[in-house]
A = this chain, B = another copy of it.
């Protein structure tokens, strides 16, 4: 079984390391697992030419062995017990693409205990249990690689940890959930409501049967926590990461935002403050001239701002079988090179050496300052058209920009939309309460944050 035919076929001169093939055990033969099999087979020669040693899938664990056999082909040993794979002496590196947290955590920790490197696409696992897993890997001297856990076709973990390693990274703002961005793109194009756009996403395969992790912002929050960890060298307590999805977003707000020169996107935001970090996911208005406003459909885009390199932007597909496999196999290539080289040659799991990891407090969402978009229904309060700016000023909200937007079909929806100065959500809530009190009940029907990212970057 483990006779290394691909290695014998490799020209002698390519075997730079004197090592045989890197032997891979795969847990999970679904969408990502099958893509990984396919890519390792299809580009085997190229991969060996890059690394100087072959990377060979030798074993896979799956629940349905019959189905899995069709995925992995005849040359790969199949087991139904993933623990047997993790403990097998002929495996150098375990690829965990089964998903879920509980069993995956057990398996990853056991693989580490067995001295095996781990490559995983499991953002939930690492966002929630990264500290424990990375500490175990560090102690055991193995690598846990996870480019496939964030934006897959965009090697953003490598960009943050290595490409921009000379920089202090000020902020990372990303569209990192393709399902949500697809739905928002449809809502923006066609004025469909969330439910209709979600149905379309499901029909076209862009949304899973249970889309709640995607549309409620949890998946994006996992990814944003990992981005923050790598941008700031931080241990990010996931429980403190604010996640708000797109389920309550009205397409009418997307049209009103457009009247002010903005698009609404689901953003993952990681920003360094003086003594804290912001790590949050929510829909936000982005200037239409910014790159992030142009990311359409199921694609991902990530904007990074740094002290020396300035702003950079990175774009690509954030999901898919071969697309995710691209990141899994890139990590395997790194492991093939750096696994034998030992600790000092490797990039730390969260960008800085473990002793330098900071546990910055995550700023509570209520204390995060930004401009805010407020939508008021003109129908309910016609006097708003003349009085609102004064009323807002009387509670300390000087309107910086506003528009009266008439609904194309339904006059009841006509809106007065305004952009506030920058202030915290808590402060805004207090002032809006004062407004309600002073005005006899005026409240905005929608409130969204504005992310005024600089557009010179486009």
Contacts and interface: CB of A to CB of B under 8 A. Distances in A.
Interface of A: 11, 13-14, 16-19, 35, 39, 42-43, 46-47, 49-50, 52-53, 147, 152-155, 158-159, 161-168, 233, 291, 294, 296-297, 299, 306-317, 320, 322-323, 325-330, 332-334, 337-338, 340-348, 351-353, 355-356, 456-458
A154 B312 contact: yes
A272 to B, nearest CB: 12
Nearest to A303: B315
B153 A333 contact: no
Contacts of A294: 291, 294, 458
Given A155-B162, A334-B162, A355-B11, A323 B341 contact: no
Contact of A159 (B47, B155, B297, B457): B155
A50 B233 CA distance: 9
A14 to B, nearest CB: 5
Contact of A158 (B50, B162, B346): B162
How many copies altogether? 2
A313 B314 contact: yes
Given A309-B152, A344-B16, A49 B159 contact: no
A344 B309 contact: no
A276 to B, nearest CB: 18
Given A43-B168, A147-B163, A162-B155, A348 B312 contact: no
B309 A153 contact: yes
8 contacts: A158-B162, A159-B159, A165-B330, A166-B328, A166-B332, A291-B315, A337-B344, A337-B347
A19 B342 CA distance: 14
Contacts of A147: 163
Contact of A13 (B42, B310, B355): B355
B43 A167 contact: yes
Given A155-B162, A163-B155, A168-B46, A338 B345 contact: yes
A380 B181 CA distance: 51
A355 to B, nearest CB: 4
B323 A310 contact: yes
A111 B167 CA distance: 27
A153 B49 CA distance: 28
B308 A326 contact: yes
A344 B17 CA distance: 5
Please indicate which of the listed interface residues A52, A163, A317 has the most CB atoms of chain B within 10 Å of its own CB.
A163
Given A165-B330, A344-B19, A356-B14, A315 B316 contact: no
A309 B317 contact: yes
Contacts of A317: 309-311
Contact of A315 (B18, B167, B312, B341): B312
Given A159-B159, A345-B341, A353 B310 contact: no
A340 B345 contact: yes
Given A323-B309, A337-B347, A47 B166 contact: yes
B155 A326 contact: no
A114 to B, nearest CB: 23
A42 B308 CA distance: 10
A348 to B, nearest CB: 7
